[in-house]
Amino acid sequence: MKDLTKISVQYLPGVGQSRAALLSKELNINTPHDLLYYFPYKHIDRSRLYYINEIDGNMPYIQLKGRILSYETVGTGRKMRLVGHFSDGTGFIDLVWFQFGSYIQKKYKLNTDYIVFGKPTVFNGRINLAHPDIDAANELDLSEIGLRPYYNTTERMKRMNLTSSTIHKLVTTLFASLTEPIPETLPDFFIQQNHLLPLDSALRAIHFPKNPEQLRQAEYRLKFEELFYIQLNIIRYAHSRRANVKGLRFPIVGQLFHDFYSKKLPFPLTNAQKRVIREMRDDMNSGKQMNRLLQGDVGSGKTLVAMLTMLIAISNGYQACIMAPTEILAEQHYATISSMLEGLPVSVALLTGSIRGKRREPILEGLQDGSVNLLIATHAVLEDTVSFHALGLVVVDEQHRFGVAQRAKLWNKNDFLPHVLVMTATPIPRTLAMTLYGDLDVSVIDELPPGRKPVVTEHRYDKDKGALFRFIRAQVNEGRQIYIVYPLIKESEKMDLKNLEEGYKNIKEVFPEFNISMVHGQMKPAEKEEEMQKFVRNETQIMVATTVIEVGVNVPNASVMIIENAERFGLSQLHQLRGRVGRGADQSYCILVTSFKLTNESIKRIEIMTRTNDGFEIAEADLKLRGPGDLEGTQQSGIAFDLHIANLARDGQLLQHVRNLAERIVTEDPD
């Protein structure tokens, strides 16, 4: 048999040059193999016949058996349509064609038995089937068609008459032209063990299923294979990297760690923090390079964990670097870490884009001669002018803001590979983590420090501002601080979006007795920083901001997060914003303010936010609502888009199953 991946789909009967071009451009179908793997997005059961007296305008696709009694042309101009009055003896409906040629009346004769298929709608009190599929009743064996497949097509394809049913016909032709079964891709024993359909049967069944059970088996086999090969590749890659890359060995925990632990640590570590520190200590003493993803919900104390891990690296004679996604965050890390390490023999430095010239030189020198032990940096560290004496550990905070290529740049600043710890507070659903970060080992901080009161989240409409303002005033008078977040800085076409600056002015008028800060993305870094610092020092009580404060900022005294136009934010963003409060001992609140006009999806998001504080639950819900392609962090990887049939939101269990299988196979036989 010809290799179906090597020939052009153009030569398949019924395709030809112009359709081939269209298939290639619109669906990226270039070969017969691509066509085989262009799966239907749904199937409709055509084994059942309905009667007209049991249908209404709300049903999905239905089919009827009956006769066309008469034709009539209705309306004029662009509204002109052809109506066929149809009856099965239990009632009457109208078959409707909007753009029609004379062929319809010739092809579908009066008083002949037909099976018509379509989606019923109600128009002028009568039930319509627009553009139905029609087959002669004596030519159609319903038990044979079973489930009819539907393929996605684009508007352009539809205009050129390349419809779902055309694609179905092409696939039919393709199968008819095959002289042998499609070659199997998995070994026999593996197919048997896992109760899979052979590939040939699965491909036939996904395009022409006889019944729902056969369809289910076909989908299972194809999803299984798709996810299995992704996992096999990731695990093989991780395995060979572990086997081939020699890692730095950090044999001691060291005096710094012990001194900090016994003298400076302001509170006991949570069990989860202890566990992940132990996991990393073991990694760094294993002789292999550590590649670990540390997941922990907002406020779970990842910074402290990172710092303790960095102390281990330093005691073993190496430098450590933590990279933050924004200057605000880097400066905040710098402040926290230097004050925590005060009195210990560690030299800490900060490197950001705004540290230039004379202030930058000594830092660069210190990194090069090794006198700087611990660096806190932004992207600025990636510049070629920055080099290290001996960089032993890199911590990447809030990873999703860093590209993979940027991370790799850091590794190249040494002759040897440093250990790598990637931290993220954006809870990534397990299924996604397994595909995106499948080559990293994962540690999870699944416990918040004790004494935290869960944030109380409430929904308010923007009409009742009075009560909200009274609440803000009461909280500030008790000594608390407030965030008010707006979606945009300058309103543009979207006139219904509130303007941050207008909001700021309004808040100033309502609360003349308080000091108010404003921070947004278009301010100069220095200005932004100054406003931020005023809020940190409690010189301002209310912070009016855009989402620039979304990531990482830590002001434990802030206890209220008000999110204006909350319906405009995605779930993970709302959760990140909410994570800015609830960091101190006081009861904290998150108020989601919306207009009355809400889409179903925003109602769902608000419902989820008010119901749970659990980041993982929210991430799963987000994945289900939006699909993996939209989630932050998935864009660069491309993995989520390459799936033909598996769905990361729905097929989590299967993914876990094939991952275990792949792991067992690679462990038993790495080659």
CB of 304 to ligand ADP, least distance (A): 5
CB of 297 to ligand ADP, least distance (A): 7
CB closer to ligand ADP, 63 vs 554: 554
CB closer to ligand ADP, 556 vs 627: 556
In Å, how far are 257, 337, 355, 527 from 340, measured between CA atoms? Answer: 12, 5, 23, 26
Which parts of 547-586 interact with ligand ADP (CB under 6 A)? Answer: 554, 556, 583
CB closer to ligand ADP, 301 vs 418: 301
Residues 560, 460: Cα–Cα separation, whole Å: 14
CB of 285 to ligand ADP, least distance (A): 24
CB of 306 to Mg ion, least distance (A): 9
Q: Are 262 and 320 in contact (CB under 8 A)?
A: no
In Å, how far are 232, 349, 445, 546, 568 from 321, measured between CA atoms? Answer: 32, 10, 21, 29, 36
Q: Are 519 and 458 in contact (CB under 8 A)?
A: no
Residues 485, 529: Cα–Cα separation, whole Å: 17
Q: Does 267 bind ligand ADP (CB under 6 A)?
A: yes
CB proximity list for 453: less than 8 A, separation 6 or greater: 582, 585, 586, 587, 588
Q: Are 541 and 515 in contact (CB under 8 A)?
A: yes
Residue 191 binds which of Mg ion, ligand ADP, none (CB < 5-8 A, kind-dependent):
none
CB of 480 to ligand ADP, least distance (A): 16
497: tokens are 């979006």
CB closer to ligand ADP, 214 vs 300: 300
Span from 32-40, 232-240, 509-517, 550-558 in contact with Mg ion (CB under 5 A): 550-558
Residue 344, helix vs strand vs coil: coil
Q: Are 363 and 355 in contact (CB under 8 A)?
A: yes
CB of 483 to Mg ion, least distance (A): 16
Span from 22-30, 86-94, 203-211, 268-276 in contact with ligand ADP (CB under 6 A): 268-276
Q: Are 22 and 160 in contact (CB under 8 A)?
A: yes
- Single out the residue of 552, 584, 628, 633 in contact with Mg ion (rule: CB under 5 A): 552
572: tokens are 């993970």
Question: From residue 515 to residue 554, what is the string marking binding to ligand ADP with x (rule CB under 6 A)?
Answer: ---------------------------------------x
Say which amino acid occupies 265: L
Give the count of beta carbons closer than 10 Å to the beta carbon of residue 8. Answer: 13
Q: Does 615 bind Mg ion (CB under 5 A)?
A: no
CB closer to Mg ion, 94 vs 397: 397
CB closer to Mg ion, 552 vs 584: 552
DSSP H or E run through 281: helix 271-284
CB closer to Mg ion, 429 vs 552: 552
Which parts of 166-195 interact with ligand ADP (CB under 6 A)? Answer: none
CB closer to ligand ADP, 157 vs 548: 548
Residues 280, 290: Cα–Cα separation, whole Å: 8
CB closer to ligand ADP, 447 vs 491: 447
CB closer to Mg ion, 32 vs 552: 552
202: tokens are 């699965």
- # binding residues, ligand ADP (CB under 6 A): 17
CB of 214 to ligand ADP, least distance (A): 49
- Single out the residue of 63, 214, 231, 273 in contact with ligand ADP (rule: CB under 6 A): 273
User: Measured at CB, which residue is nearest to ligand ADP?
Assistant: 301
Closest to 425 (Cα-Cα) out of 518, 310, 300: 300
In Å, how far are 212, 221, 455 from 215, measured between CA atoms? Answer: 5, 10, 46
CB of 449 to ligand ADP, least distance (A): 3
Residue 120 binds which of Mg ion, ligand ADP, none (CB < 5-8 A, kind-dependent):
none
Question: From residue 283 to residue 322, what is the string marking binding to ligand ADP with x (rule CB under 6 A)?
Answer: -------------x-xxxxxxx------------------
Residues 126, 72: Cα–Cα separation, whole Å: 15
- # binding residues, Mg ion (CB under 5 A): 1
Ordered strands of the 81-87 beta sheet: 120-123, 126-130, 92-97, 81-87, 62-74, 114-118, 133-136
Question: From residue 404 to residue 443, what is the string marking binding to ligand ADP with x (rule CB under 6 A)?
Answer: ---------------------x------------------
CB closer to Mg ion, 574 vs 658: 574
CB closer to ligand ADP, 280 vs 363: 280
Residue 471, helix vs strand vs coil: helix
Say which amino acid occupies 494: K
Residues 284, 299: Cα–Cα separation, whole Å: 25
In Å, how far are 73, 499, 548, 564, 566 from 492, measured between CA atoms? Answer: 48, 9, 19, 17, 18
- Single out the residue of 63, 166, 217, 270 in contact with ligand ADP (rule: CB under 6 A): 270
CB of 190 to Mg ion, least distance (A): 43
DSSP H or E run through 165: helix 164-177
**Any bridge partners for residue 133, and if so which?**
117
CB of 321 to Mg ion, least distance (A): 16
Chain residues binding Mg ion by CB under 5 A are 552
Chain residues binding ligand ADP by CB under 6 A are 267, 269-270, 273, 296, 298-304, 425, 449, 554, 556, 583
